[in-house]
Structure formats: C-alpha cells, structure tokens
Chain A
Amino acid sequence: MEHLLGFAIPGIPYGCTYAIVAVGLVLTYQATGVFNFAFGAQAYTSAFVFTKLVQNDGFPVWLAFLAAVVVLAPLLGLAFDRFLFRKIPSTNTTAKLVTGLALFVGVPALLPVLFGNQNLYASPSIVFNPDTVYFRVLGNPINGIDLATVVVTAAVLVALVALMRFTNLGLQMRGAVESRRLVELDGVNAGSVVATAWAVSSLMAGLAGVLLAPVYGQLQAQDYATLLVGAFAAAAWATLRSMPLAALVGILTGVADTVLQGYLPSSSTLSSAVLPSLPFIVLMAALLLVPGLRRLDDATDPLASVDPPPPPTTATSRAPQLSRIIQVAWYVLLGAFVISMLSWMPKTWESVFNSGLAFSTIFLSITLITGMGGQLSLSQATLAGVGAFTAAQLASHLGLDMLAGAVAGAVLAAAVAVVLALASLRLKGLGLALMTVAAALFFDNSIFTQRSITATSSGQALNIRTSWIGLGVLDPNGHALFVVEMLVLVLCVAGVLLVRSGTIGRYLTAMRGSETAAAGIGINLTWQRILIFALSGTVAGIGGTMLALQQQTVDALQFNYQLSLAFVVIVVTTGVSTVEGAIQAGIGFAVIEQLLSYLPARFGGNSLAFVLFAAGALTYAAHPEGILEFQKRRWTLRFEHLLFPGHDPNLAFATPNGTPTTADGSDPSILSSPGRVREPRSPTGSQQRGTAPSVLSDALAGAGLAGRHGNGPSTHAGRRDSEPSIRDESTQPAETDAASTNVHPQRSDDDRR
C-alpha cells in the first residue's frame, strides 16, 4: 500500500496538468459550443510570450504575466470568437472542427514567423520556487512546480464550477450554447455572453500555459499539443459536461501513469509501448464506452430553421465553351509538365515535384474519406506511415521489391483503417476526429517507436536502397522515379474518379445528404463507411510508400499526427471535395515549401507554409468547397461573363435561396432553354464518356463536386425533345401543380444538413 501510494503521489501533479487543460476544454465547450482544438496553441502562445518577455526583454515576472495571461490570452480568445467562431452556425460541427484544427496548426507556426525562431528554455515559475522542496509526502519531495500545479488547478476548478453553477452569467452561457437566438429572445445579449465565455476560457488557457511552462525544459509547441490531446481523454470521460469529473479523470490518468511506471518492468514491451500512449488509450476507451459522446453532434439549434439555406454550390455552372478551353489548357499544362520533368527540369525541382506527386497521392485519401465519405479523419499520415513502413520492412527483410511492397503496405493500411472504422462506427464529427487523432498518437508513441518497425534487422535506419526497387528508380540521373510516381498518381486518381461517379459514390453522396433517408432506402451505412475507410487507407498507404521512395528514407517523423492534422488543413484549403483539390494541395505544398526555403530563416521556413494553409482553412466556414476552389470559380465566372456574355451563371440556378424563379415547370419545355435550370447533369453523363483518361481530364478540368460531370445542355434538350412525354390526361394537372411549388422560396433546412 505504502508502495502504491509512493508511486501514486508524483502522479498527482502530473495528472493536474491534464486536469487543468481538460477543465478548460469543458469550459469552452460548455460556454461556447466549440471543442477548442486551439486550446493548446493558446496556452503555448501565452507561455511563449511570457517566457520571451521575462528572459529576452527583462520584464519582471508579474508584468510579463499581466501582459501574456491577463491581457493577451483573453484578447486572442475574443479575436477567435469575433472573427471566426461567431460566424459559424452552432450546428455546423465540421466547420467548427476545421477552424479549430486550422488554429491548432496555424497559431504555433505563426509565432516563429512573427518573432523568429527562438529556443526558450527554463521558463520562470509564477508562484512558488521550482527548485525548493516545500515538503515531503510519504518520502516524495514536492517542489514548487508540483505545488503550483496542484494549487492552481484546485483554485481554478472551484472558481469555474462556481461561475457556471451559481452565477447568472454561467446560466446565460449555457443557454447561449443551445441557441444564441433563443437567449436573445429573452433580452440577453448573447453575443457578449459568448464573447465573455471565450475571454474566460482563453484566460484559463493562458494561465495553464504559463503554469506548465516550467514543467518542460524547453518550450515547444509539440508538448502543449500532446498535452492537449491527452487532456481530451479526461474531457471525453466527462462527456464534455462535468468539470469536476474531467479534473478527476485527468488526475487519475496521471496517477495511473506513474503507478504503472513503478510496477511494470522498465524493459518490457508493455511499458515501452503502452505507457507513452496511456492518455490516448484512455481517450479511445472513452470514445468506445461513453454513450454520451455519440450524441455530441446531435445538438441542434431550436431556431435553426430560421436560417436561410446555404447558397448552392457553383459546381458546374461553367459555360461549355469555357469548359472545353480549360480542359484543353489543362492537357497542355500536363503535357508541358511531363515533358519538362523529363527534359530540362533542374534536379532540385524535379525532386520537389516528385514529392508533390507523392503528397497528392496521400491527399487523395483525404478526398475519399472527407470529401466523399463526409468523415473528418485525422490519421491519414499514420495510414501513409503504415504503408511505407510495411513496404520498407518487406524489402529489407524479404528482399521484396518496394513496388510490390507498396501493394502489401496498402493492404495493411486498409486493414488498419478498417479497424479504425469499426472502432468508430457509432461516432461522427467530433467523436470521429478525436478517435482518429488518438489512434494517430497511439501509433506515434507506441508503434512507430518500436525498433523492429522503424529500423532494419541490424538496427540501422530504413534508408531505401537501390537494390530494393530496381527499375533505376533511385538513379539520380534518370527520371524513373518521376514516371513511377506519376503513374501511381494517375492510377489512384482514375480509381477515385471511377468510384466517385459510380454507385458507391452515389451512395456516399446520399449519406452525406441524409443518413436517415439513405438507410431508409436500403443503403447499408455501416458497410459503406467501412468501405470508404478501407479505400482511403489503401490510397494513403500507397502514397506513403511513394513519399518514402522520394525521400529515400522511412522515418516516423514523416508520418506523425501533427502532419495528419496539417494534411487535412492543407486539403481543406484547396478543396476537399474535388480530385484536383488534392493534386493542387500536394503540388502546392511541396512547391511552397521549396519557395519558402529561399526566404531568410527569420521568416520561419516551413512554418510559413503552415500559416498560409491554416489561413486558407480558416475560411472553411464560409467556403466549405475550399477557398482556392471558390476563387477559381469566381474568376471563371468573371471570365465567362467577358467571353460569353450570353451565359448567365446566376440564372443557371433555379433558386433555393429566396428569389422566386420563373422555372415553375408549368411548361416542361422551359427546362431545355439554357440558363433556366442548372446545367443538367444526367445521371448517365459521367458514364457516357468511356475511358479513364477522359474521366481524369474531367477532374483536371475541374468538373466539380462529387460524382458530377457536366454534360452540355444540348444533349439533354435533344433527348427531351425526342422523347415526348406520354402523360395521361389525369396526371397532367398533378404535374403542373407539383411543379409550380418550385416557386416556393422556402425549403426545408433539414435537406441541407
């Protein structure tokens, strides 16, 4: 018993670090309805500024604390609220999540861009002296850091519970999460209530950041990020509802960690594999076992029906002539690219583009799972890693060709993805995001750390050797690598497009539209979901091997969870629902990174790339199709206006957003007049063009959203005219009547969910 307590005591301050962050997460969620992925970034920002002011600029500790925690932290939270989260409807979970992820990736990357790369060590402590041992509990020394963590956590917990339970403000905060508008009907200024909530929770993030800074020797964003995900576990067990419970689970996690550390033999695989992942295992367990987490996203705004429906996507409103021009232009560009790569392209840039192609392949897996499947998965880099390590190990141990190994790797990655899908069958939105991020961290800390996986049998790093491939792929003077990467990408693109335009793509489109109705017509949601996870895992696994080939090494750092998050943020910026979005993301990411390397290091190098993409992803709420996609369409429409004044894209939509149209359907022939309805896409359209290359060209030409391929209105009109409808007298009135409801400007919001 004494023994046990001896191990448990040091776990309490350690657990308090989880507890204080978990309480902050619950507070933000309770008071603003946002699961704040940026909490760790906010904490890091305050800690960074605090330490920098004290150490580099000679501020006294209290003044630096005032500036970094009391002033800066709430300001940051207010800015998040004012410029980002306030604009997102409370029911749009995905937009809230993506915005949080963009901040998670972008904010820590922004600091070195603003202040230059700085290494900050040994942050000062705000209360108590870190080096003094104040007292001993059962022989365990309690130093200033431990004491401060416990005391501040307890004080914060009491203060917050009191705030939420017993004050009017707390009541209003909780009401405002349900429906801002409902609270406002009671004469409460919901905007300011939510803003206050952000200020308070951000103050807390700052406090936690500064408090925990001395715990870490060097101040690094990663530590805060990992701490944050560990705290997710505690928050999840509390169903994001109860702060005391969150704190308790946080502390217990810490205690369990130190106790296990004490009892498990230090050399056992169990301790090397399980211990580092303990918080993530706890998180996965919560997601599997706590039923409340399945309903997190079901919260609906009672007044949501007041919202106007979102505008229609501009998917395929382009004039056919322009489509043709753009299509040809893409072919020319593609041809020029291939020829350049094979001839004059400098080696540096050839390698940059090769890595772009590999990234594009990995990003295609995000198109599959997020764009088509509608699921936000945060473990795509991990799946890529599974593919790469498998291929490399097979090559190293069995002498299997890397390209054959890629197939095996893809299969294994698909299997991992299926396990993930099975584990998260009943989760969606936030729950799924948490499950996948936990899985990614589990792999980072438990699997990709095993030497039997990350090193050759002789213990060397897994450097891709020429003998593993043949084909002269690694010949620095040849172009075989480019050819391989290009072929693989083309195959993957063709596969994705075929699935998208096929039956599975349609099922997925149906499921994204309404799961209820999809199940109601006989679609097996579970099976489709497992299938899309498997497909996504396959593509990610292939992409991972391609990346390994290009980098000529396989390293866990290439596939860690932060990259998983960054990948999603990048693809969201360029467009998650189109194949071209993934390709632009891959090439763009590689090229921008290379371009930034020419800048002075002061501008943060790689960080700036993440900042740029994060800034793009922050527009997700307004442009879920991707900001790049949005701008492209905008400019296309402008050009179109200049070139083909006859084609008016605004008329191309029979309107759901309030303006009554004349497309009342009373005369069916009106359908064939161009510009009345959206350019028709016959369900057969995509199939009429036979071969994969032409499908590819569609994507490259930006043929638009899932499963849609524009087909000229002419064919449509022709078909209609040649097939006079064989209506019976009795149905005629029904048809016109039903059609005339088209004028009704209102439509159900639920359709749009």
Chain B
Amino acid sequence: MTVGDSRSSALSPPPTGRSGPDHREVHHAESPGGRGHREVHHDESPGGRDHREVHRAGQDIDVPRAPVPLLRVEHVTKRFGGIRAVGDVTFTVGRGESVGLVGPNGAGKTTLFNCICGQLRPDAGQVTLDGTLLDGLPTYKRARLGVGRTYQRAEVFPDMTVGEHLIVAERARHGGPHLWRDLCHRSAPTPAERRRVAEVLELVGIPGWEDRPVSSLGLGSCRLVELARALANEPVLLLADEPSSGLDARETHELAAVLRTLQRERGMALLLVEHDLSMVEAAVDRAIVMDLGVVIATGTFDQVMADPAVRIAYLGMGA
C-alpha cells in the first residue's frame, strides 16, 4: 500500500527483448562481491532504487550507492552432530547482483540458505544484510528486512488461494496490529493490494490466478506461487532453492528469464541454488560452487565450470 507507488514504476511490463543467456559479457573479477558488475549490465541508474532499499533496511545512510555489498556471509559454519554441513563459508552478494550457488547433493546449499534466513543458527560466523548484522534476528524480522525465500520442497499454504498467498505476504511484511481492524471488518484487501497482487502474478507469468486454490495446482505451479509470494514481500535479496525442480525444460527456461527480469527491473539481488546448470547459466552473473560444506570455486559460470576442482566434485558425484 505505502510502498506501492515507488514500486509500480519498477513494475513496468517485462521487456520484450528476452534477456536470454546472452549476458556472459558480465564477467566477474575474482573478488567476490566486487562492484564491477553493475556498470556492465545496468543501463538504468540504480541510484534511486538503492536509496529506497537502503531506507527499507532501516538504515540512514545517505550515500546513494553504499559501498557495502548487500549480503555478507562471513565464516559461517553449521554442524549437525558429526556432520559439518557448512564449514567456514565466506562470500558476498552485491546489490542487484545475481549469483548462482551450485554444488552436488549434500553440499550444504540449503543449510546455508537456512542460516542466512534465520531458520538455523550457525555455529560460527555471521551474516550481514546491507550493513545490518542479522545474527540473532528471528526469521520473520529478516524477512521484513528484505530476505525473500523459496524452498526446495515447495512450501505453499494449502488452504489458500493464490491471491491470498500474496496478500498475506504483503501484509506480513508491514506487520502491525491487525486484531482491531479484523474485528471492525476492515481487513478486506484494498484495491491497491489487489492491483499489486495482479502485477506480481503477471510478472511471474500466471496472470489472473488470484482465485485459484493452490490445492488445485501442480508442483510446478506451486513453485511459481512461492516465487510470487516471495516477490510480494518485496525482497532486496531473493534466495531461490532449486526453483526449477518440478518444471520441464521450457518452463525452466522461462523461469530463468523471469528471474533475470526481476533482477534487472527491480534491482533485486538473487542467490540461486539450482541443479539445472543451463538455468544457472541463463540466470546468474556469477557462480559459487560448494562441495561438502566449503566453497571450492567462484567466478563467472564459464570460469567455475572450467575449474578442475569443480569437475572432480561433479564427476565424483555423477560417476
């Protein structure tokens, strides 16, 4: 409602020119979280948007382009009993940057996501979003700071319609007391909210699905609903955990395009876990490869795929 205006400008219809897998020109220095990439592929000035995001995260920094990267993961370690699921992982994600996080099964990608969004407490290390230390903040507060998330096993609310998912997400982000409004029968979705829902649904490619109950949807559609719900929350950083599982090749391709669009149009940073490497290739600026809980390579997609350590990790799995 309140943020609606500033955002609807960012919500112009997706560009007709497909942002296919043609962005390999974005190449990334070894310095993780380097700032070079913005200039390369952002034609519009990100200044205003940055300002909004900074404000959103509750910061009072007046510098239009903060020198800090958006997400900083430093020395994060998580153990489950004897298993070290994530061991001393450090990387950064820049504002508006799209980063792929790949690695064989059990590499610790989902665990790392859980540590970032607060579902798990890391045993060591810290996570910073936009200069705010996230350690100790509960999941819901991190969500309100702008960490959006989709889940490896699609987590939708089975008793709701698609539209309700989005409205709940939008309201939850603002928090605030609702009991009195409810009792006064003033909790109806406002026209602005409904417009926003329609916009987000259109953005992810399911326009007009507001009234469909998710219990009638297939797994692939549920993933899109999850994505739309995360977007309704206006994340500055989206953590997408294997969004393509359950989708076929063409849908995967479309999803990559949607993610690209979001990143470009909204300046949303993306951290993408994905086993479908063609999708990763299409959707990210930079890739981080994990195996057995540690980062084994970072760089552009082509660079990491050429890395011998990555080949060993994957072939070791695949063989």
Chain A interfacial positions (CB closer than 8 Å to B): 312-313, 495, 498-499, 501-507, 509-510, 512-514, 516-526, 531, 653-656, 661, 663, 665, 668, 671, 677-678, 680-684, 686-688, 690-692, 695, 705-708, 716, 720, 725-731, 733-735, 737-739, 741-748, 750-752
Given A521-B233, A682-B211, A730-B15, also A747-B155 (CB < 8 A): no
Q: Judge if B317 is at the interface, Cβ distance under 8 Å.
A: no
A738 to B246 Cα, complex, angstroms: 11
- Distance between B258 CB and nearest chain A CB, rounded to angstroms: 6
Q: Judge if B85 is at the interface, Cβ distance under 8 Å.
A: no
Contact A504 B154 (CB under 8 A): no
Interface 9-mer from B48-56, B57-65, B137-145, B291-299: B137-145
- Distance between A364 CB and nearest chain B CB, rounded to angstroms: 15
Contact A751 B185 (CB under 8 A): no
**CB nearest to A729 among chain B residues:** B16
Nearest 6 A-B pairs (CB), nearest first? A741-B220, A502-B182, A687-B188, A513-B157, A734-B205, A654-B216
Which residues 1-56 in B have Cβ within 8 Å of A in the complex?
A: 13-16, 18
Instruction: Find A678's partner among B158, B189, B216 (CB 8 Å cutoff).
Output: B216
Contact A728 B159 (CB under 8 A): no
Can you list 7 A-B contacts with CB-CB less than 8 angstroms, sorted by A residue number? A517-B155, A521-B143, A522-B173, A682-B163, A730-B14, A741-B221, A748-B246
Given A516-B119, A726-B13, A734-B257, also A503-B181 (CB < 8 A): yes
Contact B251 A737 (CB under 8 A): yes
- Distance between B300 CB and nearest chain A CB, rounded to angstroms: 26
A744 to B217 Cα, complex, angstroms: 8
**What residues of chain A lie closer than 8 Å to B218, measured between beta carbons?**
656, 741-747
Instruction: Find B216's partner among A677, A707, A726 (CB 8 Å cutoff).
Output: A677
Which residues 212-261 in B have Cβ within 8 Å of A in the complex?
A: 212-222, 224, 226, 229-230, 232-233, 246-248, 250-251, 254-255, 257-258
Instruction: Find A735's partner among B16, B154, B182, B206 (CB 8 Å cutoff).
Output: B206
Contact B221 A503 (CB under 8 A): no
Q: Judge if B210 is at the interface, Cβ distance under 8 Å.
A: yes
Interface centre among B16, B148, B161, B233 (most CB of A within 10 A): B161
Instruction: Find A683's partner among B183, B189, B204, B220 (CB 8 Å cutoff).
Output: B189
Given A734-B205, A741-B246, also A671-B179 (CB < 8 A): no
- Distance between A317 CB and nearest chain B CB, rounded to angstroms: 11
Contact B16 A730 (CB under 8 A): yes
**What residues of chain A lie closer than 8 Å to B159, measured between beta carbons?**
313, 509, 512-513, 705-708
**Interface bracket on B:** 35 or more
Given A502-B178, A516-B151, A730-B18, also A735-B140 (CB < 8 A): no
A502 to B178 Cα, complex, angstroms: 8
Contact B140 A525 (CB under 8 A): yes
A439 to B251 Cα, complex, angstroms: 53
- Distance between A316 CB and nearest chain B CB, rounded to angstroms: 10
Given A502-B182, A520-B149, A683-B210, also A731-B138 (CB < 8 A): no
Contact B119 A687 (CB under 8 A): no
**What residues of chain B lie closer than 8 Å to A687, measured between beta carbons?**
185, 187-189
Mark contacts of B179-213 with chain A using CB atoms, 8 A cut-off: 1 yes-contact digit, 0 otherwise. Answer: 10111110111000010000000111111111111
Given A519-B139, A525-B140, A726-B13, also A748-B153 (CB < 8 A): yes
Instruction: Find B219's partner among A313, A653, A729, A744 (CB 8 Å cutoff).
Output: A744
Q: Judge if B274 is at the interface, Cβ distance under 8 Å.
A: no
Interface centre among A524, A720, A745 (most CB of B within 10 A): A524
Contact B154 A522 (CB under 8 A): no
Contact A748 B219 (CB under 8 A): yes
A642 to B52 Cα, complex, angstroms: 60
**What residues of chain A lie closer than 8 Å to B212, measured between beta carbons?**
654, 671, 677, 680
Interface 9-mer from B94-102, B164-172, B301-309: B164-172
Q: Judge if B136 is at the interface, Cβ distance under 8 Å.
A: no
Contact B189 A684 (CB under 8 A): yes
Contact B187 A502 (CB under 8 A): yes
A630 to B184 Cα, complex, angstroms: 32
**What residues of chain A lie closer than 8 Å to B258, measured between beta carbons?**
734
**What residues of chain B lie closer than 8 Å to A727, measured between beta carbons?**
202, 207
**What residues of chain A lie closer than 8 Å to B155, measured between beta carbons?**
513-514, 516-517, 520, 750-751
A686 to B220 Cα, complex, angstroms: 29
**What residues of chain B lie closer than 8 Å to A739, measured between beta carbons?**
206, 221
- Distance between A396 CB and nearest chain B CB, rounded to angstroms: 32
Contact A668 B208 (CB under 8 A): yes
Q: Judge if B117 is at the interface, Cβ distance under 8 Å.
A: yes
Q: Judge if B156 is at the interface, Cβ distance under 8 Å.
A: yes
Contact A509 B157 (CB under 8 A): yes
Q: Judge if B67 is at the interface, Cβ distance under 8 Å.
A: no
Contact A681 B205 (CB under 8 A): no
Contact B164 A683 (CB under 8 A): yes
**What residues of chain B lie closer than 8 Å to A504, measured between beta carbons?**
178-179, 182
A557 to B121 Cα, complex, angstroms: 46
- Distance between A683 CB and nearest chain B CB, rounded to angstroms: 5
Contact A522 B215 (CB under 8 A): no
Query: Given A516-B155, A671-B212, 9 other A-B contacts at CB below 8 A?
Result: A502-B178, A520-B117, A521-B229, A522-B169, A682-B163, A735-B206, A737-B250, A737-B251, A741-B221
Given A519-B140, A741-B248, also A751-B182 (CB < 8 A): no
**What residues of chain A lie closer than 8 Å to B246, measured between beta carbons?**
741, 744, 748
- Distance between A669 CB and nearest chain B CB, rounded to angstroms: 10
**CB nearest to B185 among chain A residues:** A498
Q: Judge if B175 is at the interface, Cβ distance under 8 Å.
A: yes
Q: Judge if B277 is at the interface, Cβ distance under 8 Å.
A: no
Contact A523 B202 (CB under 8 A): no
Q: Judge if B124 is at the interface, Cβ distance under 8 Å.
A: no
**What residues of chain B lie closer than 8 Å to A750, measured between beta carbons?**
153-155
Interface centre among B13, B212, B250 (most CB of A within 10 A): B212
Given A726-B13, A739-B206, A741-B248, also A517-B156 (CB < 8 A): yes
**What residues of chain B lie closer than 8 Å to A748, measured between beta carbons?**
153-154, 219, 222, 246
**CB nearest to A745 among chain B residues:** B218
Contact B143 A747 (CB under 8 A): no
Instruction: Find A522's partner among B14, B143, B209, B222 (CB 8 Å cutoff).
Output: B143
- Distance between B221 CB and nearest chain A CB, rounded to angstroms: 5
Contact A503 B182 (CB under 8 A): yes
Contact A738 B254 (CB under 8 A): yes
A109 to B216 Cα, complex, angstroms: 42
**What residues of chain A lie closer than 8 Å to B188, measured between beta carbons?**
684, 686-688
Interface centre among B151, B160, B175, B233 (most CB of A within 10 A): B160
Given A734-B254, A741-B247, also A521-B14 (CB < 8 A): no
**What residues of chain A lie closer than 8 Å to B254, measured between beta carbons?**
733-734, 737-738
Instruction: Find A510's partner among B168, B179, B213 (CB 8 Å cutoff).
Output: B168
A520 to B172 Cα, complex, angstroms: 10
Contact A520 B216 (CB under 8 A): no
A707 to B251 Cα, complex, angstroms: 33
Contact B13 A507 (CB under 8 A): no
Instruction: Find A517's partner among B151, B194, B211, B232 (CB 8 Å cutoff).
Output: B151
A439 to B170 Cα, complex, angstroms: 37
A751 to B77 Cα, complex, angstroms: 29
Instruction: Find B224's partner among A512, A524, A705, A738 (CB 8 Å cutoff).
Output: A738
Contact A738 B205 (CB under 8 A): yes
Contact B221 A506 (CB under 8 A): no
Interface centre among A524, A525, A734, A747 (most CB of B within 10 A): A734
**What residues of chain B lie closer than 8 Å to A742, measured between beta carbons?**
216-218, 220-221
- Distance between A700 CB and nearest chain B CB, rounded to angstroms: 18
- Distance between A516 CB and nearest chain B CB, rounded to angstroms: 6
**What residues of chain A lie closer than 8 Å to B144, measured between beta carbons?**
522
**What residues of chain A lie closer than 8 Å to B202, measured between beta carbons?**
725-727, 731
